[in-house]
Amino acid sequence: MSEKGKKPRILFLFSDTGGGHRSASEAIIEALESEYPDHFEWEMVDIFKDYAPLPLNRMPDWYPYMVMAPNLWGASFKMTDGRVRARAITTTMWPVAARTARAIINNHPSDLVVSVHPLAVTWILRALGHSRPPFVTVVTDMVTTHSFWYDNRSDVILVPTQKAKNKAIHNGIDPERVKVVGQPIARKYCAPLGDKAALREKLGWPKDKLMVLAIGGGDGMGPLGQTARAISDSGLDLGLSIVAGRNERLKKSLESARWKIPTFIYGFTKELPDFMRAADVLVTKAGPGTIAEAMNAQLPIIMYARLPGQEDGNVTYTVEEGAGVWAPTPKLVVSTLEKWVRDPSSRQPYVEACKRVAMPNSSIEIAHEIGKRLGLE
């Protein structure tokens, strides 16, 4: 606990290496500020960019290129996963990681630490030692979670799904330390659905067509362009909105293309919550945050790509819950859309499934878990 009269300070450890770690941190901070206004201070630290030695401090910049070799990424994930292997790696690498972990702790004194990155768990806990502030792990991978996330020294481990909790228990974590709270997402994705026609009018989208929203995460990853062109060439009576994210090359390519259906192209945008509420179908890479956001918007999901390893379970979970379809080729994406255009009622079960599995209060629940440990409740 902080000194008397001082606001408690929360340290968030993240890195921009996929998995929505930054957006998860921001969503939790937003919820904390809503629940405990002016009762705490916070700081976000990128464990790689801010502290890792060369060349590891370039990891956030390299990540979009690293995942362009998905099979190699998946093999790496599986080779390092597992309780015994993860423990062996963290133990062996401690002499290298110790200086970075201790520098983070020494330079950012705090009254509570929140890790939203798997590599900011065991090494940071070891650097903190026995006389340490509370430590909260927020797992941002939805289902296929790496063993690096799990350490029994965490005061609580907050996970998105029951399958993630099962993985934690399989890794030797005390079940009492693990709570299923859902995926932390920003409040704007959890707002009431509103008037779809009014949203479309504001966005300039057609009101009389089934609207497809196609995205590839913040970096416009996966075969997004190829999939979008197949949708346009399908001959279906659709409207299409494409979000290229920070991928400027993709955005320029899309803008120079000839489209056969009403098509709207965007770069990185803060209007995505409205896009989801205005659309009828989401075509996306199987990222955990995007799936959770779509479920909250009751937006049926067609997943065209996934990152082997950490996103495999996202696909299985979404399909098993009935909230979406796995369609890993443009032809299969078009086939699914054709079915939903031909028989609009066939899309409704997916809408209902999204509504059933959505967890719109996830960030608030996480905020309360943190608040309890800071004595704010």
Phi, psi of 33 (to 5 degrees): -65, -30
Task: Provide the 10 A C-beta neighbour count for residue 229.
Answer: 21
Three-class SS state of 62: helix
pLDDT tens digits, residue range 83-118? 999 999 999 999 999 999 999 999 999 999 999 999
Report pLDDT for 19: 55
- pLDDT average, residue stretch 157-170: 97
Instruction: Please tell me which residue, 185 or 218, carries the higher pLDDT value.
Output: 185
Rounded (5°) CA angle 217-168-371:
75
CA distances from 203 to 152, 231, 234, 274, 358 (A): 48, 20, 24, 9, 25
Which residues is 283 bridged to in the sheet?
A: 214, 302
75: left (phi over 0), alpha (psi -120 to 50) or beta: alpha
Report pLDDT for 70: 81
Nearest Cα neighbor of 26 from 116, 110, 154, 111 is 116
Two structure tokens written together for 139: 């797992």
> Whole-angstrom Cα distance, residue 228 to residue 178?
40
Two structure tokens written together for 133: 């502030």
Instruction: Please tell me which residue, 223 or 280, carries the higher pLDDT value.
Output: 280
- Judge if pTM exceeds 0.85: yes
Instruction: Please tell me which residue, 4 or 144, carries the higher pLDDT value.
Output: 144
> Whole-angstrom Cα distance, residue 178 to residue 168?
7
> Whole-angstrom Cα distance, residue 298 to residue 294?
6
In the chain the domains, ranked by start, together with CATH numbers, are 9-183+360-373 (3.40.50.2000), 188-357 (3.40.50.2000)
Q: What is the mean pLDDT of the chain?
A: 93
**Residues in contact with 33: Cβ distance below 8 Å, sequence separation at least 6, in sequence order:** none
> Whole-angstrom Cα distance, residue 281 to residue 238?
11
In the chain, % of residues over pLDDT 90: 84
| Residue type (1 letter), 43 | E
pLDDT tens digits, residue range 29-61? 999 999 999 999 999 999 988 898 766 666 666
**Residues in contact with 275: Cβ distance below 8 Å, sequence separation at least 6, in sequence order:** 203, 213, 241, 243, 266, 269
Q: Let me know: does 261 contact 177? Beta carbons within 8 Å.
A: no
pLDDT tens digits, residue range 222-262? 789 999 999 999 999 999 999 998 889 999 999 999 999 99
Instruction: Please tell me which residue, 3 or 104, carries the higher pLDDT value.
Output: 104
CB-neighbour burial class of residue 113 (10 A; exposed 0-12, middle 13-18, buried 19+):
buried
Query: What torsion, rounded to 10 degrees, do the Cα atoms 314, 175, 296, 30 define?
Result: -110
Report pLDDT for 63: 66
Report pLDDT for 1: 47
Query: Which pLDDT band, with edges at 50, 70 and 90, does 377 fall under?
Result: confident
